Amino acid sequence: MVRTKLVIFGITGDLSRRKLLPALKRLQATGNLDDTEIIGVSRRQVNVSKLLREVLGDSPETMEIVRKTRVFSMDLAQAEEYRRLKVDIAAQLDDRVIIYLSVPPRSSVQIAEFLGLAGVNTPNVRLLVEKPFGVDLVSALEAITRIDTHYAELQVYRIDHYLAKEMAQNIVAFRGGNALFSAIWDGTSIEKIEVVALETIGIEGRVDFYEQTGALRDVLQGHLMQLLALTLMDIPTDFNWDTLPALRLQALQQLQIASPAQAHRAQYDSYQTEVQKSGSLTETFVSVGLVSDAPQWRGVPIRLTTGKALDAKTTEVRIHLRKRHEAQSNLLVFRIQPNEGIEIDVFSKKPGYDQEFEVQKLQYSYPTDTQLPDAYEQVIVDAIRGKKNLFTEGKEVIRSWQVLQPILDHWEMDDQPLPIYAVGSSPDTVLQK
């Protein structure tokens, strides 16, 4: 029986508490952690039972995870400590070793190098890395190259949890499996594409992270570009999902390099107080217009928009169809979250004696008792199974930065204060600022 050794760096950190540990609990409940040993790597000694019960609550699943988990404490900055870790993991060549780096990006590259130097990079090792992958094109290239020196691309699983969301995967299923959609999927029928990820929350205390990041790097460069790639790419007719990364890459390569004139940024009004930095130029809202050179998408405007502290929480891909006359309805929406599903505006006759009309919604939602797996459950299951198609390849990351880099360069030179919007504004209001 192949055993899995899941080695988690940063097990006590914020991301681990919010996403990773809860996902493990659900995987435990569904029998997906059988034969898995969990090794939490931490700078200090951790009472693992206390940590897990605090985060997951008391339950049989929690107790099972406690039983499977032990902590290895080490100094992350010392190369020789990683040799000690290698001995401790004691992996046989037929064990799967999954190293999950739930640590800040700068540390993750360094840890990967130390692990590689210590020989924790044999073919049975898979390395899971969290975004952001670099902060611009140059740093992404550097980070990817440094990790590639020690690990084959096949071993590196770059997490963009949006790709693993149930409805993001369903974009592929809906587009490929329904003649209704495949027949209209080009610029002859589609007039405009919008991908939006709007949040009501602010930066939630992540002051240092967000000050160095901003909305473009945090959400648009990865999550939204990936949703766009799923929308624009060719669909494998045989549903061979292993071709997905190459198809997404092709869609990204067909995008024109962005023009800074097509980018709009803004900041919510209490942000500077929150980060205690007056004059901060970090954007909490960004909207970018893009163009694809793919023959089927020529002339179709594309807009990606994301922001925090807005009036609604919603992530959607909105497809605007070409109208044959003005009164027609033309909107098709993939609701990535919340209320996952699909929605089509339908022009219809109002019931009654008069020939009056109204727009109704044709909706597909998952049955109410469906338990949608969280993206992080999918990520871990796929890493255990060795399935990489919902992870981003290095080339996709680099292409995405290439497309957006002129905007970052332009902003770097621009020291004008950002337009300010009130917390709770609508995206349309922000765009008018």
Q: Known catalytic residues?
A: 223
Q: How far is the CB of 235 from ligand BG6 (least distance, A)?
A: 24
Instruction: Work out the angle between the directed axes of helices 394-413 and 244-253 (0-180°, nearest 10).
Output: 30
Contact code string over 315-344 relative to ligand BG6, x by CB under 6 A: x-----------------------------
Q: Smallest Cα–Cα separation from 78: which of 121, 111, 108, 122?
A: 111
Q: Which amino acid makes up residue 260?
A: P
Taking residues 105 to 124 in sequence order and writing x for each that binds ligand BG6 by CB under 6 A, - otherwise, the string is: --------------------
Give the Cα separation of 32 and 426 in Å (integer).
Answer: 41
Q: Which runs of consecutive H residues, i.e. helices, occur in 319-426? A: 375-385, 394-413
Order of strands, sheet of 420-421, starting from the edge strand that comes earlier in the sequence? 357-365, 341-349, 331-337, 314-321, 190-198, 302-307, 285-290, 263-268, 420-421
Contact between 199 and ligand BG6 by CB under 6 A: the answer reads: yes
User: Which of 61, 218, 274, 396 forms a contact with ligand BG6 (CB under 6 A)?
Assistant: 218
Cα 262 from chain centroid (whole Å): 23
- Please identify, using beta-carbon distances, which residue of 338 and 386 lies nearer to ligand BG6: 338
Residue 289, CA distances (Å) to 258, 415, 426 in order = 8, 22, 18
β-partners of residue 421 are: 268
Do residues 284 and 307 make contact, with C-beta atoms less than 8 angstroms apart? Answer: yes
Q: In whole angstroms, how close is the CB of 143 to ligand BG6 at the nearest point?
A: 17
Closest CB to ligand BG6 among residues 89, 159 = 159
CB of 15 to ligand BG6, least distance (A): 9
Cβ neighbours of residue 213 closer than 8 Å, sequence gap 6 or more = 132, 135, 282
Nearer of residues 48 and 336 to ligand BG6, judged by Cβ: 336
Closer to ligand BG6 by CB, 68 or 308: give it. Answer: 308
| β-pair type (331-337, 314-321) | antiparallel
Tell me how far, at minimum, the Cβ of 197 lies from ligand BG6, in Å. 6
Q: Kindly tell me which of 218 and 283 has the beta carbon lying closer to ligand BG6.
A: 218
Site string for ligand BG6, 135-174 (x = CB under 6 A): --------------------------x-------------
Structure letter (DSSP) for residue 95: S
Closest chain position to ligand BG6 (CB): 218
Nearer to ligand BG6, 197 or 235 (CB): 197
Query: What number of residues does the chain have?
Result: 433
For the bound state, the minimum distance from the C-beta of residue 131 to ligand BG6, rounded and expressed in Å, comes to 6
Q: Which 299-318 residues touch ligand BG6, going by CB under 6 A?
A: 315
Q: Per rule CB under 6 A, is residue 130 in the interface with ligand BG6? A: no
* Contact in structure between 426 and 268 (CB atoms under 8 Å): no
Please report how close the Cβ of residue 305 comes to ligand BG6 at its closest, in angstroms.
Answer: 14
Q: Which residues in this chain contact ligand BG6 in the complex, by CB under 6 A?
A: 161, 199, 218-219, 315
